[in-house]
Chains A and B, each alone.
Chain A
Amino acid sequence: MALSTQSTTGHGQAAAPRRTDRGVIGAAAIVVFGTAGYFVFPDNLALLTHIISTMLLVLAIDLVTGYCGVATLGHAALFGAGAYGAGIAAAHFGITEPLTMTLVGVICGSIAGLISGIVVLRAHGLAQLVLSIAVIHLFQEAANKASAWTGGSDGLSGIMPDAVFGRFEFDLFGQTAYVYGVALLLVTFVLLRILVRSPFGMLARGVKEDPVRLAAMGASVQSVMIRMYIISGAVAGLGGALSAISTQVVGLDSLSFTLSAETLVMLVLGGTGSLYGAMVGTVVFMFFEDTVSAANPFHWLTIVGALLIAVVLFAPKGLYGTAAAFFERRSRAGKGRDGA
């Protein structure tokens, strides 16, 4: 196909244009898989939309964990803030236009990102992990307390989004929600792709590699990280808003430690520090969870556990990271032969 010729023409050139090609491939892959999903699983669109909203959260975690080296078990706070933001806007303020709801979710997610960033970035390692856990518990407890606004543990219902552009209704079959989700994912991917390769993205990577040196070079480590947290919040909030719009309900689980931990596992499974890793990890984990738990709900936890152990033992860089490294080695070996 056209895609493969593009990647081969890039072969052997300088690194930068090759990477651009990979970005194009990524965007194309989203379109291809998105379209394929629509036609191959036409009855499963609700699940696929659920996967996309989770994927956005995993991408958000990747921004701070993979690119900045922050260890967090509380990132669902950002996702939940977006979901509740969009949900409350619709249920209490009558803002039912989907694009506006999405925007509200993004803003709420960024604010939550700012708040949790301020707290979480005060420590490193284990202490940071514990701070993030404290943050997610505080968020969840606050939502539980504010039950007049959030519906508490009964969940926030009564979210009735309008049709997109006044034409496409969110209906039982979930086509609109799915297409909307794929579009959001595509836009996010392109923007994030630009972001991580921008000078700012490089700075963030530098922060991860050697914060002391960066500080010595005059960059403000703290400000880079906080800005990344806000961006991450926007992405997670987008995922939350998509979840609120597509399922028309928001529950306390969207602000839970469990969701935070599960999504972190998805990221590590796919491979940190790469947008593809985040997406691959989410799809594999959720697809696995769905099939195994439908086949045998009583034992799926054991099987998922075994999968995680196997990944650490045999694919330590995550599924995508290991595969990428494998092909890198192959192509380098091939190049070596060409030169000889």
Chain B
Amino acid sequence: MQTVLSIAVDALAYGMVLFIISIGLSVTMGLMRVINLAHGAFAMIGGYFASYAARDLGLGYGVGVLAAIVGTVIIAIPVERFLYRRIYGQPELTQVLMTIGITFCVIGIANFAFGPTLKTIPLPQMLQGSVDLGFRTIATHRLFSIVCGLVVAGALWFLIERTAFGTRLRATVDNAAMAASLGVRTQVVYAVSFAVAIGLAALGGVLGAELLPVEPYYALRYMVTFLVVVSVGGAGSIPGALIACLLLGAIDTTGRYFAPEYGEFFFYLAVIVIVTLFPRGLAGRFR
């Protein structure tokens, strides 16, 4: 029983970290319909900003997170303006080519600017150490990630479903031409959602850094994981992404506990089964 509980806690913690890192991609892929393979690159840029602010400048974790989000969004604005706008509505393969190109460039630049070694983001005192849950201990920062994940999920759901901006966004996604003729400034809507998605990527990069450390190949190393999470959840669906993360987290964690040597098999077989049964993802609303 204790083992089951323990695995459940690990699964929840892992799943929520996955959620935080991947949700930004779900926004770009589902709402903006861009296969954004450069998602990891933006998460990584966030990680570098946070590491630089918190470790090299000693400004603390909170400032690091803020610097990551603001800095990454600022970098992303020209990228969106000059590169992404050219691939909205283009065939998937074009989008793949463009975003892989961006990823390569970011990796090369990061390697040049920061070197190939791992970069850490020092945690504040209150997030270090472990919390005793009675039957086991869990790292405090894992609990923090769980809380952050829930907050992000709630806030996003509210933004998309309950605000005026959300209404415009959904209208633009469903039918851009019609929305535009009704007076929605679709360009602005796209730009803002892109900024939100990139901000989320940066946040995920920072919060997930304890599990996925920041280094130049971050951008490619975890690309597959992000894609899998989003497609299992259904691109563009917040609840779907949440369920997918928890489910995949559970499968992965259980597999690793009971039969680690076959962990990969479990994970990818599960992905095949889920994707075959739910080709639009668990809660996909588009396509």
- Direct contact, A vs B (beta carbon within 8 Å): yes
Chain A residues packing against B (C-beta within 8 Å)? 65, 71, 119, 122-127, 129-131, 133-135, 137-138, 141, 145, 257, 261, 264-265, 268-269, 272, 298-309, 311-313, 316
- Do B94 and A316 have beta carbons less than 8 Å apart? yes
Taking a contact as CB atoms closer than 8 A, the residue among A125, A141, A307 that contacts B101 in the complex is A307
**B146 in the interface (beta carbon within 8 A):** no
**B67 in the interface (beta carbon within 8 A):** no
- Do B279 and A123 have beta carbons less than 8 Å apart? yes
- Report Cα–Cα, A272/B287, bound state, in Å: 23
Nearest chain A residue, comparing its CB with the CB of B263: A141
Q: Which of B1-39 contact A (CB under 8 A)?
A: 29, 35
Interface size on B, residues (CB 8 A): 44
Taking a contact as CB atoms closer than 8 A, the residue among A137, A272, A308 that contacts B98 in the complex is A308
Chain B residues packing against A (C-beta within 8 Å)? 29, 35, 83, 86-87, 90, 92-94, 96-98, 100-109, 111-112, 224, 227-228, 230-232, 235, 261, 264-265, 268-269, 271-272, 275-276, 279-281, 287
Tell me the dominant secondary structure on chain B's binding face. helix
- The answer to whether residues A126 and B235 also contact, given A131-B276, A268-B93, A302-B112 and a CB cut-off of 8 A, is yes
- Report Cα–Cα, A303/B101, bound state, in Å: 9
- Do A312 and B101 have beta carbons less than 8 Å apart? yes
- Report Cα–Cα, A309/B102, bound state, in Å: 7
Residues of B within 8 A of A272 (CB): 93
- The answer to whether residues A268 and B94 also contact, given A130-B275, A133-B228 and a CB cut-off of 8 A, is yes
- Report Cα–Cα, A304/B97, bound state, in Å: 11
A125 to nearest B CB, angstroms? 6
Nearest chain A residue, comparing its CB with the CB of B106: A305
Ordered by A's residue number, 20 sampled pairs between the chains whose C-beta atoms are within 8 Å are A119-B276, A125-B92, A126-B92, A126-B287, A127-B281, A129-B92, A129-B227, A129-B231, A133-B227, A145-B261, A264-B93, A269-B97, A302-B105, A302-B109, A305-B108, A309-B83, A312-B86, A312-B87, A313-B83, A313-B86
Residues of A within 8 A of B101 (CB): 304-309, 311-312
- The answer to whether residues A302 and B228 also contact, given A131-B276, A138-B269 and a CB cut-off of 8 A, is no
- Report Cα–Cα, A130/B268, bound state, in Å: 10
- Do A268 and B227 have beta carbons less than 8 Å apart? no
- Do A130 and B104 have beta carbons less than 8 Å apart? no
- Do B272 and A305 have beta carbons less than 8 Å apart? no
- Do B105 and A305 have beta carbons less than 8 Å apart? yes
- Since A125-B92, A127-B279 are in contact, a sample of 9 more A-B pairs with Cβ atoms closer than 8 Å, ordered by chain A residue number, is A119-B276, A134-B228, A138-B264, A141-B264, A141-B265, A305-B102, A308-B101, A309-B83, A311-B97
